[in-house]
Amino acid sequence: MPNSVATITAGLISSSKPEEWAYEIRDTKIKGLVLRVQPSGHKSLNYEYRIHGRKKRKSLGSAAIITLSQARAKAIQIQHFANDGIDVNHRARIERASTLGAFIENDYTDYAKGTILSFENIRNRLCQNFGHLYDRPMAEISVADIKKWRAGKKGKFQTVIKELAYLKSVINLAIKLDLIESHPLGRVQFERTEKDIADLSEEKLRYLSRDEEARLRAALMTREERIRVERQSGNRWRSDRGHPEMPTFPEEQYVDAIQPIVMLALLTGLRQGDIFTLEWKDIDENQQTITKQINKTRRHKPRKTTLQISDGAARILAKWKKSSSGNGLVFPSPITGKCYNNIYKAFNTVLKEAEIDDFRFHDLRHTFASWLAIGGVDLYTIQRLMTHSDLKMTQRYAHLSPDHMRDALDKVFG
């Protein structure tokens, strides 16, 4: 049924049947009152009005719940507000967003449910960390509030930064929805305290032994070969049944991004996020360098950093380029074409096949730095290659240096 104009009555609402496409009936009694009928059979009453020359629409409720007289009364009230220059939609959103807690439970929840897989976990962590601020209007949450929270917060520095990032993302959404004008926490940045650095130094470094590294490489190569064989087998099955075959994987190319991502992390020490956001324009193949803005330090160190890479890393990139367009992201997601979120499942499968336990993707970075220290590379060079902003961060690898061990022996045994 096409959109139409009629006097909306209870009988008309009842007799309006769902069609293949949604349709609307506009009321002749009150201009702007609209009955919308969805293909699912759901019927709703809405009111269209203009505010400052712009057309707006306000849902009045389900036609199964709200009466026609109630809908007309609401429509008249909305129009009175509009005549006075008040947008009821904006007003309602501001009322819901008047406090941090109200915004999280309403607009943020509506948004995050459909876009963030770990939404429930994030909402719980927001409540645990910032529940004491839930009664405060978002615009009034201050830097002092966050510093006070930081002073009483126990746990690792990385955890503190992550919890604050969750709160900042909530406020970013409020700004995007025009509920607050500016970011009250935009200037909040935390530096590692002496205790944070001491705690970091005391953490047990997990890095690959040479034997584990060999098993990791073997597992990655086995995975590549298995995928090639599966593709060939699948193509034989398709050919026998007259189906079009899938592209094969030439031996001189990788089958997908997993092996080059893992090996690039091992051979460059780049963080996962920096690898995922790496672009071909960041790479100088002739000079064997990568020049990019490091994700972790981009706020307080916006200038790009140039890193020298090894022959091995350069060969990996050159081989991967044969499977790539050579433009844009080096490792675009094959599903979205955008940055990967993670390669958790594939990486952990490889670790299991390599019989490597208690190991995270980030430990590839520790392996890179640890092997440099064991190889006798000085800490200042390691600092630059690791893009550490503070040498104190690099000193956690000092005990692996041969000179460090020799000095200790000389001191004790002369």
In this predicted structure, the answer to whether residue 92 has a pLDDT above a threshold of 70 is no
Least-confidence region, from 1-15, 160-174, 191-205: 191-205
Position with higher pLDDT, 360 vs 396: 360
User: Per-residue pLDDT averaged across 180-198, rounded?
Assistant: 65
Contact 197, 351 (CB under 8 A): no
- What is the C-alpha to C-alpha distance for residues 139 and 126, in angstroms, rounded to an integer? 17
Residue 296 structure tokens:
């972790």
The domains found in the chain, sorted by start residue, are 4-95 (3.30.160.390), 99-190 (1.10.150), 210-358 (1.10.443)
Q: Give the ranges where 241-374 is alpha helix by DSSP (H).
A: 258-268, 272-276, 311-321, 344-353, 363-374
DSSP 8-state code for residue 36? E
Identity of the amino acid at 239: S
DSSP codes, 12-68: HHHH----SS-EEEEESSSTTEEEEE-TTS-EEEEEEEEETTEEEEEEEEETTTS-H
Question: How many CB atoms lie under 10 A from the CB of residue 103?
Answer: 24
Question: How many CB atoms lie under 10 A from the CB of residue 152?
Answer: 6
* pTM of the predicted structure, to 2 decimals: 0.57
Q: Pairing mode, if any, of strands 23-27 and 4-6?
A: parallel
pLDDT digits (tens, 9 = 90+) for 296-326: 655 455 578 899 999 999 999 999 999 888 8
User: Per-residue pLDDT averaged across 190-196, rounded?
Assistant: 59
Question: How many CB atoms lie under 10 A from the CB of residue 90?
Answer: 14
3-state SS assignment for residue 34: strand
Q: What is the pLDDT confidence band of residue 231, given thresholds at 50, 70 and 90?
A: very high
Phi, psi of 259 (to 5 degrees): -60, -50
- What is the percent of the chain with per-residue pLDDT over 90, rounded to a whole number? 46
pLDDT digits (tens, 9 = 90+) for 137-164: 888 888 889 889 888 887 777 788 888 8
Give Cα 14 distance to the centre of its chain: 46
Residue 346 structure tokens:
């594939």
Q: What is the pLDDT confidence band of residue 345, given thresholds at 50, 70 and 90?
A: very high
- What is the C-alpha to C-alpha distance for residues 394 and 383, in angstroms, rounded to an integer? 6
Question: How many CB atoms lie under 10 A from the CB of residue 317?
Answer: 21
Contact 76, 30 (CB under 8 A): yes
pLDDT digits (tens, 9 = 90+) for 30-41: 999 999 999 889
In this predicted structure, the answer to whether residue 199 has a pLDDT above a threshold of 60 is no
- What is the C-alpha to C-alpha distance for residues 238 and 385, in angstroms, rounded to an integer? 48
3-state SS assignment for residue 146: helix
Contact 297, 276 (CB under 8 A): no
DSSP codes, 218-233: HHHHHHHHHHHHHHHH
Q: What is the pLDDT confidence band of residue 190, given thresholds at 50, 70 and 90?
A: low
Predicted pLDDT at 214? 96
Phi, psi of 250 (to 5 degrees): -60, 150
Q: Give the ranges where 10-67 is alpha helix by DSSP (H).
A: 10-15
- What is the C-alpha to C-alpha distance for residues 197 and 388, in angstroms, rounded to an integer? 13
Predicted pLDDT at 414? 46
pLDDT digits (tens, 9 = 90+) for 285-295: 999 999 998 87
Question: How many CB atoms lie under 10 A from the CB of residue 344?
Answer: 10
Least-confidence region, from 13-22, 84-93, 122-131, 378-387: 84-93
- What is the C-alpha to C-alpha distance for residues 321 and 333, in angstroms, rounded to an integer? 15
Name residues whose C-beta falls within 8 Å of residue 191's C-beta, 6 or more positions apart in sequence: none
